[in-house]
Structure 1
């Protein structure tokens, strides 16, 4: 086969174009830090990258969910702590009220404090976090936006009907209950006992009858302690899950990085080598495109 000047020229231009493409590829990798910048660069890496990115996004969502769980549980525990203090104060008042040395007017003052604590417990029952009532089951908006718990003028207590669990997914296939059972603390019995206790103090009931409220309040204290213990157990579990999710996130990001991120040292070496090849190609091309015989016959 006869090699002509045009063949040499065309080959040289084609090779120079390929060299420019390689230079562009390495420059792009160097500037973006990625092995590929479009799926056509390497479909396999692109497909794996989509899977890894989906996994990372999912784990990051679990992290956000865990933050919501902490927010819900921490506020629940804080409210129950205040309930505990209120109940302990009520027990002290019951002990004082059962003391025969107290006069009727002094017992009336105790009754006034009991009424104030009772209203305080209603406020705690209607605790709101992120515009959600946390002690009303899954009906977190309450009764059409109104507080779920209500204390009537006659002392009767209205509790929410909804007692469903509020579950949040914290890892793949794992959901955890974040709320305290609405019917475990703020019950009709609690507020009925407090109303009866207050009335007994106001009516001048005998010491023994007032003393019976000590045992009733102890029962409500035990209920609150049990609810906090259950909540604490779930808080410990969510801490363990959070540590595992954080480790999964580190692993997932590492896998995504290994799949997508370019080895910068290797890219720089390839770029330097390609620049040398490109200069050599330009130098060789300059020798190929020499004046032809026709140029000397002019």
Structure 2
């Protein structure tokens, strides 16, 4: 049995379809103006979950990028300080070799060499207290200066041995960005009164920083002591320690630079992935909008021809 089709029924059905066409046009226009397929979770729940995960990965990648940039700056500072240290130590070694020839040098020459050695020690102490953003790069996690000269002329290491400054540059990788000051420059072994601990038989210090070592060499040269082979050997040990740290810093710096390249590539990949999930295809959207406009105009024309009520239509 076919039900009766009334004029009111036709009107409601036509208006419903027209409103549907208008809603589709509005959605396409909104997509075209925003450039996004997803503007609220109900647009695409599964796509929304994917977009949220990508954005979470982007935030993590951005943090790793900041960590890597900070680590790069730390290691650049350390590398520059170690380069300066090597230059000073090579100069100190040359002066020590010259000062060892005490018989050929007069008092004024020995005094000049000793003065330069002490100045070199002061320069090394300044380098050992190099800072980056207010933090000493040779003191570990300590916020104090790495080395402090005491009243007796000895130097105390005030950093935190073994407390490494680390920067996480990926989910699984942490890189050390500081340098061990006590290993690079050595440290004095002191008595309670601040003097060096020495072997009672030989007078050799139990442990000595490079700063104190240069002061000892300067004193011996100034006094005309030409037998300083042991001091020269100790200076060579400090040079070897600095060279070893230079190699370690170079390796870690290379690791950070590789991480920066990987993070830059990951940022691009995540941006492309997010665009694939959220961004609208503008060309396709324009075509769909034009088709929807044609469909809407056709629906309006058909409705205007079908819905032409007269007085008789209302009297039936």
The answer to whether TM tops 0.5 is yes
CA contact (8 A) 1:9 1:288 kept: no
Task: Report the CA distance between 1:240 and its aligned residue.
Answer: 2.6
C-alpha separation in 2, matches of 1:129 and 1:113: 28
User: Which residue among 287, 295, 303 is the counterpart of 1:269?
Assistant: 287
C-alpha separation in 2, matches of 1:69 and 1:192: 31
> What SS does the aligned partner of 1:37 have?
coil
CA contact (8 A) 1:84 1:224 kept: yes
2:142 corresponds to 1:123: no
Structure 1 segments of 4+ aligned residues over 6 angstroms from their partners: none
Greater mean deviation of Cα atoms: 15-24 or 82-91: 15-24
CA contact (8 A) 2:164 2:176 kept: yes
User: Which residue among 203, 206, 216 is the counterpart of 1:196?
Assistant: 216
C-alpha separation in 2, matches of 1:241 and 1:295: 79
Task: Report the CA distance between 1:295 and its aligned residue.
Answer: 8.5
C-alpha separation in 2, matches of 1:53 and 1:280: 43
User: Which residue among 148, 151, 171 is the counterpart of 2:149?
Assistant: 151
Listed as ranges, the gaps of 5+ residues in structure 2 are 188-207
Listed as ranges, the gaps of 5+ residues in structure 1 are none
Matched residue, 1:46: 48
Task: Report the CA distance between 1:136 and its aligned residue.
Answer: 0.6
2:277 corresponds to 1:259: yes
Greater helix percent: which structure? 1
2:186 corresponds to 1:187: yes
2:137 corresponds to 1:134: yes
RMSD: 1.8
C-alpha separation in 2, matches of 1:153 and 1:107: 25
Q: How many residues align?
A: 290
Query: TM-score, with normalisation over the residues of structure 2?
Result: 0.87
Task: Report the CA distance between 1:158 and its aligned residue.
Answer: 1.1
C-alpha separation in 1, matches of 2:165 and 2:129: 16
> What SS does the aligned partner of 2:227 have?
helix
Task: Report the CA distance between 1:191 and its aligned residue.
Answer: 2.1
C-alpha separation in 1, matches of 2:293 and 2:252: 61
Matched residue, 1:238: 256
